[in-house]
Structure 1
Amino acid sequence: MIAAESYSLQDEIIAAATVLREGGVVAFPTETVYGLGAEISNSSAVRRVFEIKKRPADHPLIVHFADASRLNHWAREVPEQALRLAELLWPGPLTLILPRSRHVPANVTGGQDTVGLRVPDHPVALALLHELGPERAVAAPSANRFGRISPTTAAHVKAELGDAVDMILDGGPCRIGLESTIVGFEGKSPVILRPGTIPMEELAEILGETLVLPPPMARTVRVPGALASHYAPATPLELWRSELLWQRALELEADGWRVAVVTWSPKNWSQRGGAKNKNVVHFSMPAEPVSYGRQLYASLRQLDSERLDRLLVEIPPAGSAWAAIADRLRRASGTPSEELQSGAGIALQAR
């Protein structure tokens, strides 16, 4: 078992495990985002997770457990490729979609015969799962309202869900800040069902073959975070190429709107006329994908609190290192993937 950082934190972990065993709902940290968990065999607790999030009953949860050696306990069949990924990447930000075993209730999987399985790489999450024991697991989505921004701190969970959660286990800010990579096995070929921070090149090297990201209409399995609109702030968000970003900002400002311009590229903001404008706020993000991903959700939450009329976000660079960020921003804006790939500016109606 991975030791907790302090005695007081260990007490909190033991208390959280007790809450889960007794049918409660606990928010807990992982390396990706905070999860909203119920003990997998407790149907009423699992139902509360859906109710707290306002999540559709057919939208599956991810099963978190403590040790990759228990994969065959939760999955009915484990292809050799899945076993190889688990051995090399767990604990870590990887979810495998596999046929569910009899130990996984159908209400956890949204009625599907497949289940998302993951061993998180966070000392508090692992300590909690070990405390529960090898026969138990935690079914959990992210600890936020359905379709909204995932939380990366305990404070985010408290602000959004409040007292609806029985306990919030604080493990500090999430190290990665973006949800896990989801890999499925449709037919005999592995496919990426949701991009994450594991490089596609690394997955391909482990498996000895190229993985594909199938178009939404071609997918036969429902997975978390795959809806056209997801990870969305309350403030409507638009994606624009850098050369059109400031023009759009000044157009909206001329109509009396308060807007934030979110950039990653090192453009001179003052020369574009924005610095003189009190209704146009510039928010600079890192030009490096790991740091950008870690800060993304916290930054969107901060901007949401500013009571702006619109968020204008610079389209991220092309390439696999930015794939997860592009995916989250596309869904946060409701932008079709083909339009994002074309680099066109996307102007949305207020939601």
Structure 2
Amino acid sequence: MKKLLAVLNKAGLDGFLLMIGTMILLAYFLPQPGMVKEPVSLEEIANVGVSFIFLFYGLRLSVEKLKAGLANWKMHIVVQLTTFLFFPLIVLASRPLFAGTDFELLWLGVFFLAALPSTVSSSVVMVSIARGNIPAAIFNASISSLIGVVVTPLWVGLFIASATGDFDVTDIVIKLALQVLLPVIIGISLNSRFGKIAEKYKKQLKYFDQAIILTIIYTSFCKSFSEHLFEGFTALELAGLAAGMMALFFAVFFFVGLLSRFFGFSDEDRITVLFCGSKKSLVHGTVMSKVLFQHSTITGIVLLPLMLYHALQLIAASIIAKRMAKRQEQVQIP
């Protein structure tokens, strides 16, 4: 078993990705626990857990770090425009191909993915492996999370009403602000007191984050499977979706690479732009899906492209980051 896990880890597949697959299978074969409402539902537990995720995230952010990160403003603008403008525009350009077909819901899921903020932890990890600008990566991932609270619902709101029949941008932004932004702000304000403790136990907090995400995935797929929403898709079509997610990742990765060269970024900054600009957050996606699609059974389908992208971006990014690190080692050898 250890040898198998080691091989999977080298390929970029960790235990968390395997647990995501397990939750989907569990939702298929045992959906009842995810549908129970009394006395306490798993959905309610996940809602409370989400606020704690972002409270703990804020605890590990200091005002000083955020201020220091503002210096490299040109690089930050490139990353944020790629994340919130270029990504959605690429997917938006493909919409006519899916309009009026059975794949409209999958397209909505891909567009939802494209409108999400960048990842926090994995972006920083990949930048660290590839020997990029780590402080800049932390700053970009943090700012992206805050911007996404407003920008993501505005983008998705353009198309979500036709799929769910229920969407109020103001209401959604307020809910996300209360559930995501407010806990982050409270966490930042308590950083001086509890920041060291949060940093000390970041491994345990990571497991808590993952447990809440897995709970959201499980309950979302319980709903979708109970409504038989996946019965219209073949294995070949789902494989095609995975190939499309891989193509999307490399299209953005190539684009931000060109922008980095155009602006003359240093090697360290270019690495940061590449990994922060091409990644999307599963944490924010699962959280926002609960708010954006709260009265809908389509959440499982909407989350499917994001989960595929999440897995594939980790595999591709880890391979690329390791190659970049090896290349730099070879250059440094006299």
TM-score (norm. length: structure 1)? 0.27
Larger RCO (CA under 8 A, 6+ residues apart) = 2
TM-score (norm. length: structure 2)? 0.27
Give the structure with the higher percent helix. Answer: 2
Larger Rg: 1
Give the structure with the higher percent strand. Answer: 1
